[in-house]
Amino acid sequence: MKQHGFRSGDLAGDLVIDRWWQQGVSLMAGATRREFLKALAATGAGVMLPGSGLLAQTARPSARANPRRIDVHHHMQPPEYLRRRTQQTTNRNWTPAKSVEDMDKNGTATAILSVTTPGVWFGDPQEARALARIVNEYGAQANRDHPGRFGFFAVLPMPDPEGSLREIEYAFDVLKADGVGLFTSYQDKWLGDPVFAPAFAELNRRRAVVFVHVTVPNCCQNLFPGHSGFRAEVDYDTTRTVESLFMSGALAKFPDIRFIFVHSGGTLPVMAGRINDRIPRDRRDLAPLGVLGEVKKFYYEVAHATYAMPLAALTKLVPMSQILFGTDYPVEPFETTTLPLAEYGFSARDLQAIDRGNAERLFPRLKA
Ligand SMILES: [Zn+2]
């Protein structure tokens, strides 16, 4: 396989091999991917697929060899933020340089940084404002230190409305943030709560991208022995916050916000039909485009949710234009997203849209 420059085990190689396998199945009926790989190694692809044209077509240039992905779900862990929150137990060895190293190994050109749960709110508004500023300055600096490799979603000191408005202004006007990163809930207040409305009005005015990261709501922790909020609860919280956005009229009032929901929308894609049936059709004050129309407007990133089941639900719900690549790195390794994504069966064109094209439309500054 060396002669082609692709190896099993590195991502670019795996993607090309996957494509060969998919297209070679007709030539090796019944072969598993492992058997196919073995045959490829033993005989050399050129021998196995003589003159089929397929090999030349797929191996050649490899539009897939470096998909130059844009990862919209990629976490930063600024040291000063971790130091101040000593209970943080996430990976302390993360650095932007480590991200770049792993991005390079995994065909990723740019990552939009954000902080993961618990964010910056620990009950004291002054502390939240200070932490938000530390994180946001760090995100902007990472981009300056590694031009083109990073963007960032500014964290806001929610649910402090004053502080959030101030940070929106600073993050967009001074730091040139790519959007803001919110959580699905704060202290059992979901995003339709009136406390968020001033910030949403300002974000709507700016036609901002709002990346909505999951968290475990206070209501639903330790529900039974062995319960972990990070197993399934977080994915329910996406649906809760979307219901809250509907029922508060926020989607009608703030139609220009570009929302991104994580992990292929969590439970939302499978529940959207039932929610649609539970909101009367004539409530245009809640859902101007109808529930399904509003939900199709959202963007969804696919981190750690590229298994066949969530992707089947998501792709039935929304057009391909709404799906974005994300990884949840370093919480999740790249491969938990990239390997199932490569095996799902998307066309090369759809994969390009997910990897990069859709994000370029959302973040025109990243257009290559
Ligand atoms: Zn995450």
Q: pLDDT tens, 237-291?
A: 999 999 999 999 999 999 999 999 999 999 999 999 999 999 999 999 999 999 9
Q: Which of 80-94, 202-216, 265-279 has the lowest mean pLDDT?
A: 80-94
- In the predicted structure, residue 25 carries a pLDDT above the cut 90: no
The answer to whether 31 and 358 are in contact (CB under 8 A) is: no
pLDDT at residue 336, rounded to an integer: 97
Q: How many angstroms separate the alpha carbon of residue 116 from the centre of ligand 1?
A: 5
CA distance 325 to 360: 11
Q: How many angstroms separate the alpha carbon of residue 326 from the centre of ligand 1?
A: 9
Q: Which residue has the tokens 């499978």?
A: 270
pLDDT at residue 53, rounded to an integer: 36
Q: How many angstroms separate the alpha carbon of residue 350 from the centre of ligand 1?
A: 24
Mean pLDDT of 6-30: 36
Q: How many angstroms separate the alpha carbon of residue 264 from the centre of ligand 1?
A: 12
CA distance 7 to 194: 53
Cis amide prior to 225 (ω within 30 degrees): no
CA distance 7 to 112: 28
CA distance 181 to 113: 9
Band of pLDDT at residue 60, cut at 50, 70 and 90 = very low
Q: How many angstroms separate the alpha carbon of residue 195 from the centre of ligand 1?
A: 24
Band of pLDDT at residue 65, cut at 50, 70 and 90 = confident
- The answer for residues whose C-beta is within 8 angstroms of residue 362's C-beta and 6 or more apart is 209, 258, 260, 299, 324
CA distance 214 to 182: 9
Q: Which of 17-21, 199-203, 317-321 has the lowest mean pLDDT?
A: 17-21
Q: How many angstroms separate the alpha carbon of residue 74 from the centre of ligand 1?
A: 7
The answer to whether 261 and 300 are in contact (CB under 8 A) is: yes
CA 114 remoteness from chain centre: 11
Q: How many angstroms separate the alpha carbon of residue 34 from the centre of ligand 1?
A: 32
CA distance 58 to 27: 15
Structure tokens at 22: 């998919």
pLDDT at residue 43, rounded to an integer: 35
Q: What CATH homologous superfamily does 69-366 map to?
A: Metal-dependent hydrolases (3.20.20.140)
Annotated domain spans of the chain: 2-59, 69-366
- In the predicted structure, residue 1 carries a pLDDT above the cut 60: no
Q: How many angstroms separate the alpha carbon of residue 206 from the centre of ligand 1?
A: 25
pTM over 0.75: yes
Q: Which residues surround ligand 1, an ion (CB under 5 A)?
A: 116, 328
Q: Which residue has the tokens 């697929």?
A: 49
Q: pLDDT tens, 96-146?
A: 999 999 999 999 999 999 999 999 999 999 999 999 999 999 999 999 999
* Other beta carbons less than 10 A from residue 127's beta carbon: 15
Q: How many angstroms separate the alpha carbon of residue 210 from the centre of ligand 1?
A: 14
pLDDT at residue 263, rounded to an integer: 98
CA distance 171 to 113: 13
CA distance 166 to 123: 18
Compute the chain's Rg from CA coordinates: 22
How do strand 185-186 and strand 189-190 relate by DSSP bridges? antiparallel
